[in-house]
């Protein structure tokens, strides 16, 4: 009972912070950057090792520059995520805009379910929230529950603010079957790390064999969905645009792992253009092919 009360108290406090104007939130972000990067060194070794493995061709100075830019963006990401608990649909639409609105409008209206794959890139939570504010379709946001109950509940509240339906990963197929007679949109992060017993497929990603989550491909084939990639880019502080990239029209006719390789390759090309906006603090490479029995390396 005490823990539940504390959870709601913290979320209420975050809500109060979210009411601050963006300019003040970014002043807080500037302070957070100093604390996280210089004072705490938050996951510094993880970030540095990830960058070294991904970009061995870059100099130490170049990787250090990416690292510093990443932490600046990461601090912005924190305050922007807090802001989402109270941001209005109008403000959200002003800050996250499509580059191909005709395609977006078409995809929102067609009578076919869509799997939208994104990555831990730019502000992926704001991207999902933006679409839930403009579509009448059922919009499922697939997430991996957090061990911290406070932040888990916070993100559930954020993702369900408009028409979003947060769905825990283990409930995905059940929920999609429930809506099988409706045209839905399901958004997933394609760069999630699968649990070890599900890490059956490895492909090259950022210069190293990487276990890839096969969920998007399995769902698309089972339910005959169209597959698109949500390509989000940071224009300036607090402003993003996105391009919806059609990847697969007929999932059932694809070869094994064709869908997976398509979204992994696309994400990698985005990261290589502006690497500072990917989540380098994420422990993405927890195990290697030799750690997994019967692993497929492609």
Per-residue pLDDT of the chain (298 residues; tens, 9 = 90+): 666 677 778 888 999 999 999 999 999 999 999 999 999 999 999 999 999 999 999 999 999 999 999 999 999 999 999 999 999 999 999 999 989 988 888 887 888 889 999 999 999 999 888 888 777 788 888 888 888 888 888 888 888 888 888 898 888 878 877 887 888 889 999 998 888 777 889 999 999 999 998 889 998 998 888 999 999 999 999 999 999 999 999 898 999 999 999 999 999 999 999 999 999 999 889 888 888 877 788 8
> What is the pTM for the complete model shown?
0.92
Distance of CA 199 to the CA centre of its chain: 19
Q: What's the Cα-to-Cα distance from 78 to each of 23, 94, 97, 125, rounded to whole Å?
A: 14, 19, 20, 11
User: Quick one: 10 exposed, middle or buried, by C-beta within 10 A (0-12, 13-18, 19+)?
Assistant: middle
In terms of Cβ atoms closer than 10 Å to its own Cβ (0-12, 13-18, 19+), residue 269 is exposed
- The tokens for 82 are 């807090």
H helix and E strand count, the chain: 11, 10
């Amino acid at each position: 009972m005490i823990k539940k009360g504390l959870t709601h108290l913290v979320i209420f406090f975050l809500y109060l912070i979210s009411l601050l104007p963006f300019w003040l939130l970014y002043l807080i972000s500037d302070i957070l950057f100093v604390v996280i990067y210089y004072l705490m060194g938050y996951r510094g070794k993880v970030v540095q090792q990830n960058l070294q493995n991904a970009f061995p061709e870059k100099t130490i100075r170049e990787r250090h520059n990416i690292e510093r830019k990443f932490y600046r963006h990461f601090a912005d990401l924190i305050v922007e995520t807090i802001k989402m608990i109270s941001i209005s649909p109008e403000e959200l639409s002003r800050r996250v805009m499509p580059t191909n609105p005709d395609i977006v409008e078409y995809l929102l209206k067609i009578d076919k379910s869509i799997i939208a794959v994104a990555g831990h890139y730019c502000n992926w939570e704001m991207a999902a929230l933006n679409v839930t504010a403009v579509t009448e379709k059922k919009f499922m946001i697939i997430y991996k529950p957090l061990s911290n109950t406070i932040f888990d509940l916070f993100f559930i509240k954020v993702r369900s603010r408009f028409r979003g339906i947060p769905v825990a990963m283990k409930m995905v197929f059940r929920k999609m079957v429930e809506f099988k007679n409706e045209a839905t949109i399901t958004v997933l992060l394609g760069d999630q790390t699968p649990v070890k017993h599900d890490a059956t497929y490895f492909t090259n990603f950022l210069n190293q064999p990487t276990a890839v989550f096969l969920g998007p491909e399995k769902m698309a084939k089972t339910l005959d969905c169209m597959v698109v990639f949500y390509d989000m880019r940071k224009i300036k502080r607090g402003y993003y645009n996105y391009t919806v990239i059609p990847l697969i029209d007929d999932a059932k006719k694809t070869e094994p792992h064709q869908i997976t390789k398509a979204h992994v390759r696309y994400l990698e090309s985005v990261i290589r253009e502006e690497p500072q906006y990917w989540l380098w603090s994420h422990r993405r490479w927890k195990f290697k092919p030799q750690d997994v029995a019967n692993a497929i390396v492609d």
